[in-house]
Amino acid sequence: MTLHADRVRWNRGGALVVDGVTLTPRPGATVGLLGPNGSGKSSLLRLLSGTARPDDGTVTLDGTDLRALSRRSVARTVAVVGQHTHTDVDIRVRDVVRLGRIPHRGPLGSRPATDAAAVDAALAATGMTDKADRFWHSLSGGEQQRAHIARALAQEPRELLMDEPTNHLDIRHQLELLELVQRLPVTTVVALHDLNLAAAYCDEVVVMAAGRAVAAGPPAQVLTPELIGEVYGVRATVLVGEDGVPTVVLRPAAVSAPA
C-alpha cells in the first residue's frame, strides 16, 4: 500500500486547479509530475501531503483517508520537500536537518543516538556533511535545497513528495539528487520541469494540463512529440537511446499555442 489519490478535485480562488486526478504510485517507484506552469502539480502535491484537503475525492495512506490521520502520523511516513526554501532564522544546517526527526519523537522524547545517526546519514547522502555546522543563511540556494532534502531524508520516510527539487541545483547535483531518489527504497512523487531528467530517472510520469492528468505511464510511452506539442505548445523531437530512455530535443523556433 502507499499514497493514493482517487479522483481528487480542488478549487482555489474560484478556479478548479486539480480536476479529478487519480494517482496510484507503485511502492518504491519514482513518479514524475510534469506539466506547464500553473497546471496543478504543486496543488496535487499539497493534496497528497495532506496540507490541503480535496473538495472532492480522497487521498489515502495505506487505505486510510488522510483526514482521519494526525499530521504527526502522516509525517512519520510522508516527507515533503517544497518549492520555497527561504528562512531568515539564524539556524545551523544540522539543526534544520534534525527537524526531520520531530515526527519520530515518542512520549519519552527523542532517541539521541538514532536521531544523530539518521541526521548524519542524511547529510552524507546529500553531500552536506562538511556544511553541517554552517549557518543556514550562509548557504547558496542550491545548498539550501540540498539541506531541505537532507531534512526530508532524516525523516526516514516511506513516501517522498518533492516540488521541483532540482530547480536551484547545478547539473551534477541534479543528477546526483535524482540518482539518490531512484536508489532510495521510497515511493517518490516529484514535480519536474526538465523532461529529460524525468525521462532518465522516473519509472512513470504523469502529465498535468489545466488541473487534469492528461497522460500517464512510462516516460518512453508518454513523452512523444505530439504530447509535448499539445501540452506545452512546443515542437520537439524525441530520440530513444539503446537503453530505451528518450531524449527530448526542443525546437524553440517553432512554438505554437498549446491546445
Is residue 42 involved in binding ligand ATP (CB under 6 A)? yes
Strand partners, 128: none
Total Cβ atoms within 10 A of residue 194:
17
Is 229 among the residues that bind ligand ATP (CB under 6 A)?
no
Q: Is 37 in the site for ligand ATP (CB under 6 A)?
A: yes
157 contacts ligand ATP (rule: CB under 6 A): no
Q: Which residue has the cell 502535491?
A: 45
Residue 43 binds ligand ATP, judged by CB under 6 A: yes
Distance CA(139)–CA(152), nearest Å, equals 18
Q: Which part of the chain contacts ligand ATP (CB under 6 A), choosing from 7-15, 66-74, 113-121, 199-207? A: 7-15
User: Considering the rule CB under 6 A, would residue 12 count as an interface residue with ligand ATP?
Assistant: yes
Q: How far is CA 218 from CA 59, 204, 207, 221, 252, in A?
A: 23, 4, 11, 5, 25
* Residue 39 touches ligand ATP, criterion: CB under 6 A: yes
β 159-163/78-81 pair status: parallel
| 41 in contact with ligand ATP (CB under 6 A) | yes
CB of 212 to ligand ATP, least distance (A): 12
Measured from the CB atom, is 50 or 100 closer to ligand ATP? 50
Contact 92, 136 (CB under 8 A): yes
Q: Which stretch binds ligand ATP (CB under 6 A): 13-21, 168-176, 177-185, 242-250?
A: 13-21
Query: What is the 3-class SS of 99-125, one letter each residue?
Result: HHHHHHCECCECCHHHHHHHHHHHHHH
Position with the least CB separation from ligand ATP:
13
185 lies in the site for ligand ATP, by CB under 6 A: no
Helix (H) or strand (E) holding 73: helix 71-75
- CB of 57 vs ligand ATP, minimal distance in Å: 16
Q: Does residue 84 touch ligand ATP according to CB under 6 A?
A: no
- On whether the CB atoms of residues 231 and 254 are closer than 8 A, the answer is no
Residue among 21 and 150 whose Cβ is closer to ligand ATP: 21
5 beta partners: 23, 59
Applying the rule CB under 6 A, the residues between 14 and 33 that interact with ligand ATP are 15, 17
Contact residues: ligand ATP, CB under 6 A: 12-13, 15, 17, 35, 37-43
